[in-house]
Structure 1
Amino acid sequence: MSDKRLYKSSVNYMICGVCGGIAEYLAVDPTLIRLAWVIFTCLSAGTGIIAYIIAAIIIPS
């Protein structure tokens, strides 16, 4: 069993480090996660913004 945990990134951050933390967790480029998040936000009529705020609150630093 892996001891991988999801944290906000303290290195790859733009606003709160949520996308950087997800990228580090998945071992992918943070730019891909940010691009996917922007596309999700545009297609979901702003739900991505609410999801980002919730993630920024609940994901530990």
Structure 2
Amino acid sequence: MYNKRLVRVTDNVWIAGVCAGLADFFGFDRDAARIVWLLLTLFTAGFPGLILYIALWLLMPVSDGR
């Protein structure tokens, strides 16, 4: 049985791999996840999105390449 894990990816990343990791976990397109994250961050005055991104960057483990 395959268990999906929420991890930051190290390939095809822009900043830290958080959006790419979230997109892979939930089955979305990586670019769509980045655009949605950007729009949500901009329309919520920026701070909640940036704080959440930094927190996920620090808390999500890096992918082991599998």
Q: What is the TM-score of this pair, normalised by structure 1?
A: 0.89
Using the aligned pairs only, state the percent identity: 36
Which structure's relative contact order is higher, taking Cα pairs within 8 Å and 6+ residues apart? 2
CA distance in 1, matches of 2:2, 2:39: 30
The runs of 5 or more residues in structure 2 that have no matched partner are none
Alignment map for 1:41-52 (pairs within 5 Å): 41-46=41-46, 47-52=48-53
Q: What is the TM-score of this pair, normalised by structure 2?
A: 0.83
Q: Tell me the matched-pair count.
A: 61
CA distance in 2, matches of 1:38, 1:15: 13
Moved over 2 A (4+): none
CA distance in 1, matches of 2:35, 2:42: 11
Deviations 1:4-26 (A, max 9, x none): 11000111311000001111111
2:35 match: 35
